[in-house]
Every structure is written in structure tokens, then in C-alpha cells.
């Protein structure tokens, strides 16, 4: 598989570079970043700590996609518009873990999926996908007598809150309890909690990669479903697996559940 990486100098981009470089069936053919990246022109392998691989970091998306079969994107919502447009033109499958999209961003992803296969996930972890499936089952089985609250914990530099993964877990609960209304902050005299509330809260600090807990709170008992990420490379491995899955697929929106065969 011939792979291009966008957001290649970020933590996730460098992790993808290392994982892809180690794989015998992958060749990195392009590495891209923003025009203001101070590392432009440097070898992406050197930046990722794996030595020279002959691929220089570029701000030119079109040239970075030349010869690529798949593109992995971990960047920012502001950077993705041109990226998805160029991927459509080049016929390159897209795997994106960029979060914080607005309505225009989602429309852009849907448009791209009409031309190329697109795998988008707030979290590329297989464990998080299974957690979402378990949450859906648990909320359905426990019913209205159990309150649902979600807490995500991330490092101090994370810019969006709640996390995309927390939102994904909330959506899993809402699939079986569409009455649940999201509450993203409580302060002051807010009154007793109603049965249709679902709190979603972000905790930020330190170097936490990502912890997510769904609390199911009943009378006399509670269930806490937690996923903890302890190694950032797990997301890179998930993204690379998704890229392998996407190559050769027909245009459309795909999820990590599709990648797992669920």
C-alpha cells in the first residue's frame, strides 16, 4: 500500500510514520503539513526518529498525494477542506481522525465519500469501538432507571471539549435512548437531575493520552465502563489498519466497526 500522511509532524502523524515504516507492506510516498510548519523540506523519517526514508515534508497537498492509494489525516478542521478536495481529485482513499468538525466539515466529508472511500473516526482504537457497542447494549438493557453520564480525561494541550470519542459514546447511548439530552456543564442551583439528562464533561491536565468512562447510575448500584489509552501508537495502528481496509473499497462512509467486520 502506498501511503500519504497529512499532519505528518504532529504526534499522531509521527506515530503513523513509525508504524507504517515498520510494516513490510507499506510504502510512504507523501508527507504533508501546513505552510507555516518549520520542518518543511526535512525528511519525515528523520522527524519521526526512524532515519532517512527519502520523503520530504511538503505543504503541497496535490504533489504529496501523487502515487498514493490511501491518505491518513490527523490535523485540524481548518486544514481539511483542501485535503478532502484534493483526495477526491486524486482518487485516494481517506482515513481521518480529525475532530472538532462543524456542519460544513461534515458536509465536506459526505461529499468526498461520494467519490472515494472515507473512514472517519474520532478514535481509531478497536477497544473504543467495542466500548461503544457495550454502552449501547448496557443502556438498552438497564433502561430508564439508570442515569447516563460521560467523562473524558485528556492532556492539557487538547483543544476541543468534550472529546470526539465522548460524543461518539453519547451517540451510542442515544441510539437506544433518543430521549437523552446532552448537558455539557452544571453550575449553581440547577435543580434536580431529570431522567432525560446525559452529562458529558471534559477533564484536562497533564499528559493523559485519553481516558473515557461512561457512568450508568442506578439506585443502589452503578456500572462504570472505561477505556484507557496508555500508548498513543494504538491510534496509529488503528489508522493504518483502516487504510488497508479502505484501499479498493467503493466510495462511501466507513467506520471502525466496518474495519473490524462488525
Active site residues: 154, 158
∠ CA 169-80-202 to the nearest 5 degrees?
30
What are the CA-CA distances from residue 92 to residues 32, 34, 113, 167 (Å)? 15, 20, 11, 28
Q: What is the DSSP letter of 56?
A: B
Instruction: Give the containing element (helix H, strand E) for 80.
Output: helix 80-90
C-alpha to C-alpha distance for 228 and 218, rounded to whole angstroms: 24
**Joined grid coordinates for residue 224:** 462504570
**Joined grid coordinates for residue 49:** 526518529
C-alpha to C-alpha distance for 262 and 260, rounded to whole angstroms: 6
Is the sign of the CA dihedral 236, 238, 243, 244 positive or negative? positive
The candidate with the shortest Cα–Cα distance to 169, out of 208, 126, 129, is 129
**The pairing of beta strand 117-120 with beta strand 93-96:** parallel
- The residues near 86 (Cβ < 8 Å, ≥ 6 apart) are 61, 62, 65
Q: Which class for 260: exposed (0-12), middle (13-18), buried (19 or more C-beta within 10 A)?
A: middle
Amino acid at each position: 500500500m502506498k501511503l500519504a500522511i497529512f499532519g505528518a509532524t504532529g504526534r499522531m502523524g509521527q506515530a503513523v510514520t513509525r508504524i507504517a515504516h515498520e510494516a513490510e507492506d507499506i510504502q510512504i510516498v507523501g508527507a504533508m503539513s501546513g505552510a507555516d510548519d518549520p520542518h518543511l523540506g526535512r525528511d519525515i523519517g528523520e522527524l519521526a526518529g526512524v532515519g532517512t526514508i527519502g520523503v520530504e515534508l511538503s505543504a503541497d497537498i496535490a504533489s504529496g498525494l501523487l502515487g498514493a492509494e490511501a491518505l491518513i489525516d490527523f490535523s485540524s478542521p481548518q486544514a481539511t477542506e483542501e485535503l478532502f478536495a484534493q483526495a477526491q481529485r486524486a482518487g485516494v482513499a481517506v482515513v481521518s481522525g480529525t475532530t472538532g468538525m462543524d456542519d460544513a466539515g461534515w458536509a465536506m466529508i459526505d461529499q468526498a465519500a461520494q467519490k472515494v472511500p472515507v473512514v472517519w473516526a474520532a478514535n481509531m482504537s478497536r477497544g473504543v469501538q467495542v466500548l461503544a457497542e457495550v454502552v449501547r447494549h448496557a443502556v438498552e438493557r438497564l433502561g430508564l432507571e439508570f442515569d447516563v453520564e460521560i467523562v473524558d480525561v485528556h492532556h492539557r494541550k487538547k483543544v476541543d471539549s468534550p472529546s470526539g470519542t465522548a460524543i461518539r459514546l453519547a451517540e451510542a447511548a442515544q441510539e437506544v435512548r433518543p430521549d437523552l439530552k446532552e448537558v455539557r456543564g452544571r453550575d449553581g442551583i440547577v435543580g434536580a437531575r431529570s431522567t432525560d439528562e446525559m452529562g458529558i464533561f471534559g477533564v484536562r491536565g497533564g499528559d493523559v493520552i485519553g481516558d473515557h468512562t461512561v457512568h450508568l447510575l442506578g439506585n443502589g448500584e452503578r456500572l462504570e465502563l472505561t477505556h484507557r489509552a496508555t500508548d498513543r501508537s494504538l491510534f496509529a495502528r488503528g489508522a493504518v489498519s483502516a487504510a488497508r481496509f479502505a484501499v479498493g473499497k467503493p466510495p462511501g462512509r466507513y467506520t471502525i466497526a466496518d474495519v473490524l467486520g462488525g
